[in-house]
Homo-oligomer: A and B are copies of this chain.
């Protein structure tokens, strides 16, 4: 199988690391795939709270030698979508529900933004007769995971989407839950996006997994066929589905949330093309 594959796309949590710990054998496997076999590798995460640069810091801290261009965080995906659609040329701004990762990615492509961490403590004046002012130049609302989501941000996003003609509604992802800590599941960006969906009646453009945007970007930019790409992940319902929906080869690793028992019990349509204990199995 390895022979026909030119590129590997790795999910991060449960594949490369668990929380803040590198998974055994990852460093050696990446070296082997790149240096010995000449494969290209990418890393993809739906987490939007960090930018590519911030992720690069995490990879480096874990002793992995990775380029920023190899990292596809959903914060980057949001910026890539705006670049693709030449948003900067409109002269409009972005309102952010989300954290620093989105701010950094927008700054890199020269798109002005407001909201995000700056609106953390803001409270709308709801006294009789009052209206919350909003910027008529906001041409897109980007919604990513936001630990400090509040009513002010929801109302600001609602006003932009409902009252600014043509305003885009972009979601980094729709994940119901996320793994902020290993100890439990945490409400994910599905909550923030659901809030804006619920007060606007509109559906977002999704840029992270399972949207095809990142695959289209890689296929376009590096001129590869989807069948030459293998998606490696630890989740059947996101990573493997994402790969299958986009015509990629798929590999499940058991180093994350899916057990072999769960994998074998799943129905045929959701099975990966192959599976392995962990990334270290590539070396075996």
Kindly list chain B residues whose C-beta atoms are within 8 Å of the C-beta of A186: 124, 126, 132, 155, 158
Contacting pair A128 B176 (CB below 8 A): no
Q: A147-B151, A151-B146, A195-B198 are in contact. Are A126 and B190 (CB under 8 A)?
A: no
* Nearest B residue to A197, CB-CB: B194
> Is residue A183 within 8 Å, beta carbon to beta carbon, of the partner chain?
yes
Number of identical protomers:
2
Size of the A side of the interface (Cβ < 8 Å), in residues, is 46
> Is residue A69 within 8 Å, beta carbon to beta carbon, of the partner chain?
no
User: Restricting to A1-48, which residues have a CB under 8 Å from any CB of B?
Assistant: 19-20
* Nearest B residue to A134, CB-CB: B184
Main secondary structure of the interface of A (DSSP, over half): mixed
Kindly list chain B residues whose C-beta atoms are within 8 Å of the C-beta of A150: 148-150
A209 to chain B, nearest CB (A): 16
CA distance A124 to B178 in the complex (A): 14
A19 to chain B, nearest CB (A): 6
Kindly list chain B residues whose C-beta atoms are within 8 Å of the C-beta of A190: 198-199, 201
Q: Mark A250-277, 1 if CB is under 8 A from B, else 0.
A: 0000000000000000000000000000
Q: A199-B177, A200-B176 are in contact. Are A128 and B20 (CB under 8 A)?
A: yes
CA distance A187 to B161 in the complex (A): 11
Contacting pair A151 B148 (CB below 8 A): yes
> Is residue A240 within 8 Å, beta carbon to beta carbon, of the partner chain?
no
> Is residue A241 within 8 Å, beta carbon to beta carbon, of the partner chain?
no
A145 to chain B, nearest CB (A): 9
Contacting pair A158 B180 (CB below 8 A): no
Q: A191-B199, A198-B195 are in contact. Are A126 and B158 (CB under 8 A)?
A: no
Kindly list chain B residues whose C-beta atoms are within 8 Å of the C-beta of A19: 128
